[in-house]
Structures are given as C-alpha cells and as structure tokens.
Amino acid sequence: MRHRSKPLNYFTSKEHNNLKFTEFGFEPELIDGLHSMGFETATPIQEQAIPGILEGKDVLACAQTGTGKTAAFLLPVLNLITKHKPEGVSTLILGPTRELVIQVDQQLEALSYFTNVSSYAIYGGRSGQEMEQEKRALKRGASVIVATPGRLKAHLDLGYVDMSSLKYLILDEADRMLDMGFIPAVMDIVNQLPRKRQTLLFSATMPPRIRQLTRQLQHKPTEITIAISKPAENILQAAYHVEDGNKIALTEKVLEYSKSAERILIFASTKKKVKELAKSLQQRDWTVGAVHSDLDQKEREEQLLKFKNGSLPVVVATDVLARGIDISGIDIVINYDVPNDAEDYVHRIGRTARAEASGMALTYICHAEKRKFKRIEDLLEMQIRRSPLPAGITPLDPPPRQERSRGGRRGGGPRKNYKRNYKKKK
C-alpha cells in the first residue's frame, strides 16, 4: 500500500515577495491539498518557476535541494493535469537515484491528494513482482511516472511502453545524472518521446555540459538561478583536525558524549568505508546501520524505516542519502570524510535542523582533506570553528617536511643532467 506523506519543509528566503499559493490560479483541488498541509507561501524558486511553467514555457532552473524546487515543478504540472485531464502518461520525471525518485513520488502523492492524478515510481533493485506492477502502471498509463533512467529504459526496450501522450518531461538533479553517467540513457529515452512537449530541467549546479544538454532538450528556456542556500543558522558547525587512522576512535567518543541524541547520521566517502565503520562500531556494541549501493532496495528501506522510527539511532551512509532523505529529528550529522564537492557539504548537514529544530554538524579533517575543507569555508564565506580533540585522541601532527639537498631539490641525491646524457648516447 502506498502512503501519503507531507512534502519537505522548504527553505524560505526573506528577500522574496511572499507570494501566496492562492495567487497562482491553481485548481481548487490543489489548493485544498496545500491548505491541508499548512503550506501558504511560495519560496523564491517556486515564485519564479511556477508562472513560466503554467504558461507552457521550457524552464532551466539552478536550485539546490532545500529551496523548494520539487514543488516548483510538481505544483504547476499537477495543476495542468488536473485542469485538462489528459489520457495516458502525460508527465515523466527522471531522477538519478532510487532515494530521490521515492522522495519525489511521496511529495507528488501528498500534493495531489485531493486530485484524480495517478502516479507510479519506477526504480531498480526491486523484485520481479514489482517489475510486473511497474509494467502494468506503464501500460495502463499512469498520469505521472517518476523513474530512474536505467530502469525506465529497461521497460522501454521491451517495447510495451507508449509515450505518445507525453506532454511534460522533467529532469531533476540533472547535474547528478551527468556525474553518474546517466545522460546516454536519458537521451535514449528522450528520443522515444514526442518532440512537441514542455521540458523542465532542474540542477543544483550549471556546468557547461548541462548547458549543452539544455540546447539538445529545450526550446528557448526561461532561466532561473537561486543562490546556494546557506546552512540553517540553528546548525552548530564544528570541525576536528584528526589523523585518518584516529577517525573511528573519535567517532566512538562523539557517540559516547551524544547518548541523548535520538538520531545520528554519519557520511563516509565510499561504500567500503561505510561498511568498515559500521562494522567497527557494531563490534564495539553500538547499534549502527549502514546504507550504501550494495544493499538491495528492500534492505535500504528497512534501514531507513528503523532510523526514522528511532529503533536504529545511528546510520552510516554514502552521499546517496545527502540529497535523498527527509527524516526529521536528526540531531547530529558527522562528516567522517570531507565531501569532494563543497556543495555536498551543504546537502549533508542540511539533513539536521529541519523544521526549525536545532542540530549539530561535525566534520573530521585529516591532512589530505584540508584543501577540500577550505573550499567549503570559501563557499560558505565563513570559518568553521575547530574543536579540541577529546582526551585520548592523538592530535593531528603537522605534515612531515621533505628535506632539501644542497642543490635545492627535494629528496637529495645526485642531480641528473638528462640533456647532457642524451647527447653522449648519440
């Protein structure tokens, strides 16, 4: 059975016009759904994107998770579907990960609660029986399909999917799909869609290849850029300078000091590190779960459900959860590794301090990660406080300096004159 759930509590800027949802001219059924969930005022991305989408324009929007971008494309499309009641699949939303697809589908169900809009989520890692359910949804023509590119392409390749009625194509987190190598699959899908359609492209960043993709997919798009949303002021940010080999010991200390915390989310850079850290903490009698791409979808959902209901207080995860998790009550986020992209830091720590709550974000910095963390501070335009290490954790030693020979070269040893040696050989 599919559950209705409320959409995210969106980041709201004080600088926008506080436009109310009733001013967009939405259908009564959509307004009823918004009122039932207590949503009255649009965020900046919603203010700027919704009018153009309602007018039938292609939209290219650069906006991060947490700015309200999902509702920015869902609300106008749901309104158009509710108003015109098209038959067959009218809307296709593509997202890079299962978690994002599930999250978008849940918001879609919540926003469309009082409408007759049907939807179905399609993503990998499911059983053969669920594959059959996806097939039925596609053949019967659910109004909105939310899918990962690989899974949808598998259905399309089998020849039973009719996309001739499609009117709206939405690419969510297009930059992440680019990073994950999904663009060839996306283009294969696009080539099977009607050429006459409205295309909406949302991306957290706008690298040149996204611009190139836009030229292939869109026609004179309206461009919208929402500045990066800084972390909420009620997140206490701190960092530790620590040797890489002491990170597990530091994590234990943090968990000991944080026994009153209901939920702690730890981000590691690779699934190997996720497994190693979770196993190490479990061996020390901590109740810890792990979420990474090697788990099948059912296992991942079970871990997240336990985390959500409080029976699993600590979860270690890769960045797959940085954008694709909406769980309130996460007290502490730990960056076990500094993220490679500065913007991912904002996504990670944004998992705490949601819905006006307070939270804490701790980051471990070893020698190799200092430069990456400096980029984060440059992006945030602030210096994050360095905390002293707990007793028993060896401080980070300064990096060893390489000795120089008398000739000024690193490492000593005779200087080779390659040019002279080459001439002698000739």
Tell which residue, 113, 144, 114, has the closest CA to residue 122. Answer: 144
d(CA 268, CA 79): 40
d(CA 103, CA 99): 6
Close Cβ partners of 378 (under 8 Å, ≥ 6 residues apart): 342
The answer to whether position 8 is within a domain reads no
Query: Could you read off the pLDDT of 383-402 as tens digits, one per residue?
Result: 999 999 999 898 787 665 55
- Tally of structural domains, the chain: 2
The answer to whether position 414 is within a domain reads no
The answer to whether position 350 is within a domain reads yes
pTM score of the predicted model: 0.63
Length of the chain: 426
Tell which residue, 400, 255, 420, has the closest CA to residue 331. Answer: 255
d(CA 103, CA 97): 10
Contact yes or no for 393/249 (Cβ under 8 A) = yes
Averaged pLDDT score across all residues of the chain: 85
Amino acid of residue 97: T
Question: Are both 245 and 296 inside the same structural domain?
Answer: yes
- Tell whether the model's pLDDT for residue 328 goes beyond 50: yes
- Tell whether the model's pLDDT for residue 211 goes beyond 90: no
Question: Are both 146 and 117 inside the same structural domain?
Answer: yes
Question: Are both 39 and 150 inside the same structural domain?
Answer: yes
pLDDT score of 11: 32
The answer to whether position 407 is within a domain reads no
The answer to whether position 395 is within a domain reads no
- Tell whether the model's pLDDT for residue 55 goes beyond 50: yes
DSSP-assigned states of every residue in 127-196 = -HHHHHHHHHHHHHT-SEEEE-HHHHHHHHHTT----TT--EEEESSHHHHHHTT-HHHHHHHHTTS-SS
Q: With the C-alpha atoms ordered 374, 377, 383, 385, is the resulting torsion angle positive or negative?
A: negative
If you ran DSSP here, which 8-state letter would residue 24 be given? Answer: G
Query: Could you read off the pLDDT of 370-380 as tens digits, one per residue?
Result: 999 998 998 88
d(CA 30, CA 82): 8
Question: Are both 272 and 194 inside the same structural domain?
Answer: no
Residue appearing with tokens 């108003």: 83
- Tell whether the model's pLDDT for residue 94 goes beyond 70: yes
Question: Are both 198 and 258 inside the same structural domain?
Answer: no
Query: Could you read off the pLDDT of 140-179 as tens digits, one per residue?
Result: 889 999 999 999 999 999 999 999 999 999 999 998 888 7
Contact yes or no for 327/277 (Cβ under 8 A) = no
Average the pLDDT over 92-113 and give the result.
Answer: 92
Residue appearing with tokens 């779960």: 289
Token pair recorded at residue 158? 């089998």
Tell which residue, 207, 235, 230, has the closest CA to residue 360. Answer: 235
Q: What is the CATH number of the domain that holds 166?
A: 3.40.50.300
Domain containing 108 equals: 21-225
